[in-house]
Amino acid sequence: MPAPSGPDLPTFEWLGDAALTVRTPRARELYASLRAHPLPGVQEAVPALDLLTLLLAAPTAGEAVQEAVAARLATLIPAPGGSGRRVVVPVTFGGPDLDWCAAHAGLDRAAFVAALCAAQLEVAFLGFTPGFAFLTGLPEPLRMPRLDAPRERVPAGSVALGGPWAGVYPRETPGGWRLVGRTAMNFFDLSRAAPVPWQPGDRVQFEARA
Amino acid sequence: MTAPLPRASRPVGGGPLATGATVLRAGVQTTVQDAGRRVRALGVPAGGAADPVARRLANALVGNAPDAAGLEVTLGGPTVLFHEAALVSLCGAPFDATLDGAPLPLWRAAQVQAGQTLTVGGTARGLRAFLAVRGGLHGHEVFGSRATDLRAGFGGVQGRALRPGDHLTWAPLPAQAARRAFIAPDLRTPTGPHHELRVLGTGDLTPDLRDSLLARPFTVSPQADRMGARLTESVAAPRDPARPSVPNVPGLLQLPPDGRPILLLPDAGTHGGYPTPLVVITADLPRLGQLRPGDTLTLREVTREDANAAHLAQERALRQAEWMLRQ
């Protein structure tokens, strides 16, 4: 194998004796590739922003997995278009923090809602609670500081902004993001064949409903 | 990792009340557990028995696959009335257990007759044990696992701990006589009250954290559940509010702002934003399932080679025991 080089070179970091974190700007493409064609020795791949944590079948599989991942990355074509799937989330705007967020963005309520619905969001990764997606792509003025003290209970379906992220709480949990609306869409429904309706790389858009 | 995600949800098996068993007393927190699920990428915790060595040996003793579902008992166990004969085994912390009042030894298979009552009492040491039933317990199957996720409310029996009146059933398997096999005491997960956990450092391990985490005993606080075991003593924790969320792995030591470390157990959230300077080695993960409030522990840093050798030795011994029980 020729020595790989370039700015897109992955870095590997052990996390204990049975997991490896791969940092690469192509983490999303790597995740999609590993889902389609699993690597021997990798039990599970868990994405986050620009990284993928690989849980190994055995602690001793590490070196072989590093080589295989580097080789796989070299074959990947960047997919700037994401997964090609689009998810429209109908939102009734009006949460407890909507006016605060609009003021923070220097907009009136209607303009703030319009700006949020115009944002081209994307699922970066899922985590925190079943079905919760971290959505990237908020324009700078729409990024909101998290609450100093998290709310003990955020209702299911709450549409929220926190730091660089947007998200929807699939069920009632504690939460520190600012609540700007509600959706009736269910993001974790075990009665469906696919309980979680989105995947990393999906394009997401909020659509205002009365 | 599996390419297509397993079918999400299957109904709970059941049958007429003359089969299976009825829960008379539920115990402190008794849940259906197996080897857990692998869909962290959907935000779903792994779950599964907190002492996987106990799970594997209990299942091997009754001729089950290592990942078959059984009952995880915690601190105080359940009382179960059997309506049909069953082969059972109880492995883990040294719980007092009886079958119609007669002592039921741990670490061996026992034949239960229809109409008999199995009672699992308390344990003086350790926290959990795994009760296997030949055939494997039925339960709500979610993403290929029957493990109960108490927080999300799915898996096992209606996504919750057992309650009196619950009806348990299991898959029929040809009857098998109780096999006797010696399970070496050093294969059993240690149950304290003092624990030594071998750890590896991560990129978050600073010299200050190494000094404050590795050089002293800690106490397990009352906040110890299937998500994590919080320690009582605090250390100076680095603050980084802008830190991004990254995936958690089993055995991670998390350091929240108050400086009281949390050792992550199988139901921990899939991602976390706190510094995680240490990870318990794979061979010592079962010990996390036996950490009982009030127990003491020390963290000892080892090399990756030590960790691999410990894992290989443990796996070899476990497979040997499983193989002998299959003969």
Q: What is the pLDDT of residues A146-168, one digit of tens each?
A: 888 889 899 999 999 998 999 99
What average pLDDT does the segment B108-131 reach? 97
pLDDT at B265 exceeding the cut of 80: yes
Mutate to test the interface with B, among A20, A46, A125, A153 (most CBs of B within 10 A): A46
List all residues of chain B from 194 to 233 with a beta carbon under 8 Å from chain A. Answer: 200, 202-203
Measured over the CA atoms of residue B219, residue B222, residue B223 and residue B224, the dihedral's sign is positive
In chain B, which residues have their Cβ closer than 8 Å to the Cβ of A132? 43
Strand order in the sheet with B79-82: B102-103, B95-99, B117-123, B79-82, B21-25, B167-168
pLDDT at B1 exceeding the cut of 50: no
B303 interfacial to chain A (CB closer than 8 Å) = no
Question: Does the distance separating the beta carbons of A190 and B247 come in below 8 Å?
Answer: no
Distance of residue B273 Cα from the nearest chain A Cα, in angstroms:
10
Give A50: exposed, middle or buried? Use CB within 10 Å, 0-12, 13-18, 19+.
middle
Q: How many CA atoms lie within 13 A of A172 on its CB side?
A: 4
Peptide bond before residue B193 is cis, with ω within 30 degrees of 0: yes
In chain A, which residues have their Cβ closer than 8 Å to the Cβ of B43? 126-133, 188, 196
In chain A, which residues have their Cβ closer than 8 Å to the Cβ of B270? 46, 126-128
In chain B, which residues have their Cβ closer than 8 Å to the Cβ of A192? 8
Nearest beta carbon to residue A48 from set B7, B203, B271:
B271
Ranges assigned E (strand) in B9-116: 9-10, 21-25, 31-33, 70-74, 79-82, 86-92, 95-99, 102-103, 109-112
For residue A13, give the amino acid letter.
E
The per-residue pLDDT of chain B, averaged, comes to 93
Give residue-wise pLDDT tens across range B199-225.
999 999 999 999 999 979 999 999 999
Domain B194-237+245-319 indexed as CATH 3.40.630.30: no
In chain B, which residues have their Cβ closer than 8 Å to the Cβ of A145? none
Give residue-wise pLDDT tens across range A54-92.
999 988 888 899 999 999 999 988 776 677 899 999 999
The torsion defined by the Cα of A180, A183, A189 and A194, in degrees rounded to 10, comes to: -100
Q: Among residues of chain B, what percentage have pLDDT more than 70?
A: 95
In chain B, which residues have their Cβ closer than 8 Å to the Cβ of A46? 40-41, 247, 270-271
Backbone torsions φ then ψ of B110, nearest 5 degrees: -135, 140
For residue A35, give the amino acid letter.
R
pLDDT tier at A184, thresholds 50, 70, 90: very high
Give A175: exposed, middle or buried? Use CB within 10 Å, 0-12, 13-18, 19+.
buried
Give residue-wise pLDDT tens across range B41-92.
999 999 999 999 999 999 999 999 999 999 999 999 999 999 999 999 999 9
Alpha carbons B60 and B65: distance in angstroms, whole number: 7
Alpha carbons B149 and B44: distance in angstroms, whole number: 9
What pairs with residue B168 in β-bridges?
B21
Helix, strand, coil share of chain A (percent; to 5):
20, 35, 45
Give B304: exposed, middle or buried? Use CB within 10 Å, 0-12, 13-18, 19+.
middle
Per-residue model confidence (pLDDT) at position A88:
97
C-alpha A144: how far from chain center: 17
pLDDT tier at A2, thresholds 50, 70, 90: very low
Give residue-wise pLDDT tens across range B33-49.
999 999 999 999 999 99
C-alpha A66: how far from chain center: 24
pLDDT at B8 exceeding the cut of 70: no
C-alpha B93: how far from chain center: 11
Question: Does the distance separating the beta carbons of A21 and B42 come in below 8 Å?
Answer: no
For residue B210, give the amino acid letter.
R
Q: Mean pLDDT lowest for which of A196-205, B116-125, B175-184?
A: B175-184
Give residue-wise pLDDT tens across range A5-52.
555 689 999 999 999 999 999 998 999 999 999 999 999 999 999 999
pLDDT at B259 exceeding the cut of 80: yes
Per-residue model confidence (pLDDT) at position A78:
77
CA distances from B2 to B39, B51, B145, B148, B185 (A): 9, 24, 13, 21, 35
The residues near B290 (Cβ < 8 Å, ≥ 6 apart) are B51, B92, B93, B126, B127, B128, B189, B190, B191, B192, B195
Q: How many CB pairs under 8 A join A and B?
A: 137
C-alpha B318: how far from chain center: 16
Q: Which residue has the higher pLDDT, B167 or B178?
A: B167
Per-residue model confidence (pLDDT) at position A174:
86
Ranges assigned E (strand) in A63-175: 86-93, 121-126, 133-136, 151-154, 158-162, 165-168, 173-175
Distance of residue A20 Cα from the nearest chain B Cα, in angstroms:
10
B159 interfacial to chain A (CB closer than 8 Å) = no
Domains of chain A with CATH codes: 11-75 (3.30.1360.40), 86-208 (2.40.100.10)
Global ipTM: 0.91
Radius of gyration of chain B (CA): 20
Distance of residue B49 Cα from the nearest chain A Cα, in angstroms:
18
Residue pair A113/A76 in contact by the 8 Å Cβ criterion: no
Residue in chain B closest to A28 (alpha carbons) equals B41
Question: Does the distance separating the beta carbons of A34 and B1 come in below 8 Å?
Answer: yes
What average pLDDT does the segment B217-244 reach? 92
Q: DSSP label at A144?
A: B
Mutate to test the interface with A, among B38, B151, B271, B299 (most CBs of A within 10 A): B271
Question: Does the distance separating the beta carbons of B203 and A17 come in below 8 Å?
Answer: no
Per-residue model confidence (pLDDT) at position B2:
36
pLDDT tier at B176, thresholds 50, 70, 90: confident
Domain extents for chain B?
Answer: 9-185, 194-237+245-319
Backbone torsions φ then ψ of B115, nearest 5 degrees: 95, -10
